[in-house]
């Protein structure tokens, strides 16, 4: 057996393939049914022999990490010449699809929540000697849509394989930066040492990647752009510049400034100057951010260029434009927001403009 799987296939006499749910640079991912424990799981299999090379060892590494913010490794099996990793199935979308394709940027409240949970996942991995090496939005799963009710880091199990492809790409092997999906996808979030001395990448590179992702979330842009042109900028490692809107609104400025400070610490050029994952968890635990449910709605009206109402199922929700993070919405625009009892009508805060499809 080799290549992609098909609906109805039985793996190891235990797992029945339901459907393909995605793929990365290293692996195919399927939804499957576990006939013994009667549950739905994620089934992953390497794409080629190069990816298969360390799949078993990577599965063992992945199984070491046990934390609510990490997708659980459940099983590993070999059938013929094909290898399979069974993981907890997260019924959601990766961070790229759940957030970054929905809005230009994420308000500091939600960004702080994401920051905190990713830091806890990485700290748990570092405690057992596992370095992810390939942290990026597509390796982080979120449930609850824009509200992110649950967040789990995935693919610790292919971290070593990803590292090898990255090393090969950086050093000019068969897999180049131009052809490697793994390398191109990870590049905007790669630490300077991952490019300069890729075989010496350690825990501090994961911290850089977290900082780069947080910069992307709150600004809507990766710290140094995209594509091969970012390599020089990453190696220079000048502190990323944040657009004025991130801190210009007094409603968001206090938390935004703290997030910017943390991002700069995470993205220090010297790996030794970056916080450890445990320190990052401690810093994030001191941030004040709400965890209220997020809702989608449409701006029904705006009065005096100051305040208005959002139309949702049920009573309209009052809002003030000072509660909007970033671009201001117009009548008819779709927004995502939290709402609170305002002593009359419910009041929305914060509010972020959804991108038009």
Let me know if residue 176 belongs to a domain. Answer: yes
134 catalytic? Reply is yes
Let me know if residue 276 belongs to a domain. Answer: yes
Residues 48 and 158 in one domain: no
Let me know if residue 30 belongs to a domain. Answer: yes
Judged by average pLDDT, the poorest of 85-89, 104-108, 156-160, 326-330 is: 156-160
Work out how many domains the chain is built from and give that number: 3
Q: How confident is residue 142, by pLDDT bands cut at 50, 70 and 90? A: very high
Residues 166 and 181 in one domain: yes
Among residues 88, 111, 133, which one ends one of the domains? 88
Residue 107 pLDDT exceeds 90: yes
Q: How confident is residue 1, by pLDDT bands cut at 50, 70 and 90? A: very low
Residue 99 pLDDT exceeds 80: yes
The pLDDT value given to residue 177: 46
Phi, psi (deg, nearest 5) at residue 334: -90, 140
- The one catalytic residue among 134, 155, 168, 206: 134
Q: What is the dihedral of CA 154, 160, 164, 170, to 10 degrees?
A: 60
Q: What is the CATH number of the domain that holds 170?
A: 1.10.510.10
Let me know if residue 66 belongs to a domain. Answer: yes
Q: How confident is residue 11, by pLDDT bands cut at 50, 70 and 90? A: very high
Average pLDDT over every residue of 263-283: 97
Q: Which domain holds residue 328?
A: 295-353
CB 134 within 8 A of CB 162: yes
At 329-349, the pLDDT tens digits run: 999 999 999 999 987 789 999
Residues 101 and 57 in one domain: no
Q: What is the CATH number of the domain that holds 39?
A: 3.30.200.20
Q: What is the CATH number of the domain that holds 316?
A: 2.40.50.140
Average pLDDT over every residue of 263-292: 96
Average pLDDT over every residue of 89-113: 92
Query: Of 321, 316, 312, 306, which is closest to residue 351 (Cα–Cα)?
Result: 321
At 215-267, the pLDDT tens digits run: 999 999 999 988 788 899 999 999 999 999 999 999 999 999 999 999 999 99
Let me know if residue 108 belongs to a domain. Answer: yes
The pLDDT value given to residue 133: 86
H-only helix segments in the chain: 49-52, 55-64, 95, 108-127, 159-170, 181-186, 192-196, 203-219, 230-236, 245-248, 253-266, 277-285
Among residues 39, 54, 88, which one ends one of the domains? 88
Cβ neighbours, 10 Å, residue 43: 29
Residues 327 and 219 in one domain: no
Where residue 144 falls (left for φ over 0; alpha for ψ -120 to 50; beta otherwise) is: left
Residues 163 and 269 in one domain: yes
Looking at the DSSP assignment, which residues form a beta bridge with residue 30? Answer: 20, 43
Residues 77 and 127 in one domain: no
Phi, psi (deg, nearest 5) at residue 260: -60, -40
What three-state secondary structure class fits 353?
Answer: strand
Residues 335 and 242 in one domain: no
Let me know if residue 3 belongs to a domain. Answer: no
The pLDDT value given to residue 168: 55
Average pLDDT over every residue of 110-131: 95
Residue 162 pLDDT exceeds 50: no
CA 227 to chain centre: 19
């Amino acid at each position: 057996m080799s290549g992609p799987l098909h609906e109805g296939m039985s793996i190891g006499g235990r797992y029945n393939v339901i459907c393909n749910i995605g793929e990365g640079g290293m692996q195919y991912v399927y939804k499957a049914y576990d006939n013994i424990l009667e549950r739905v799981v994620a089934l992953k299999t390497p794409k080629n022999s190069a990816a298969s090379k360390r799949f078993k060892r990577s599965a063992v590494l992945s199984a070491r990490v046990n934390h609510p913010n990490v997708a659980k490794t459940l099983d590993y099996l070999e059938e013929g010449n094909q290898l399979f990793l069974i993981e907890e199935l997260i019924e959601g979308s990766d961070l790229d699809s759940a957030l970054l394709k929905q809005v230009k940027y994420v308000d500091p409240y939600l960004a702080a929540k994401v920051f905190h949970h990713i830091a806890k996942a990485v700290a748990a991995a570092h405690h057992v000697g596992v370095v992810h090496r390939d942290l990026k939005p597509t390796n982080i799963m979120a449930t609850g849509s824009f509200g992110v009710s649950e967040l789990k880091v995935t693919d610790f199990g292919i971290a070593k394989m990803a590292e090898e492809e990255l090393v090969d790409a950086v050093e000019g092997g068969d897999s180049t930066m131009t052809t490697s999906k793994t390398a191109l996808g990870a590049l905007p979030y790669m630490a300077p040492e991952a490019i300069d001395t890729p075989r010496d990448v350690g825990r501090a590179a994961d911290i850089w990647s977290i900082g780069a992702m947080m910069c992307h979330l709150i600004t809507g842009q990766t710290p140094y752009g995209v594509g091969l042109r970012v390599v020089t900028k990453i190696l220079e490692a000048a502190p990323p510049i944040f657009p004025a809107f991130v801190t210009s609104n007094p409603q968001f400025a206090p938390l935004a400034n703290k997030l910017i400070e943390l991002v700069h610490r995470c993205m220090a050029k010297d790996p030794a100057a970056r916080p450890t994952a445990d320190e990052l968890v401690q810093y994030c635990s001191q941030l004040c951010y709400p965890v209220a449910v997020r809702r989608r709605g449409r701006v029904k009206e705006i009065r005096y260029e100051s305040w208005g109402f959002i139309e949702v199922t049920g009573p309209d929700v009052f809002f003030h434009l000072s509660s909007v993070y970033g671009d201001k919405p117009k009548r008819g625009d779709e927004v995502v927001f939290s709402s609170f009892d305002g002593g009359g009508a419910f009041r929305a805060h914060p509010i972020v403009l959804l991108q038009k499809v």
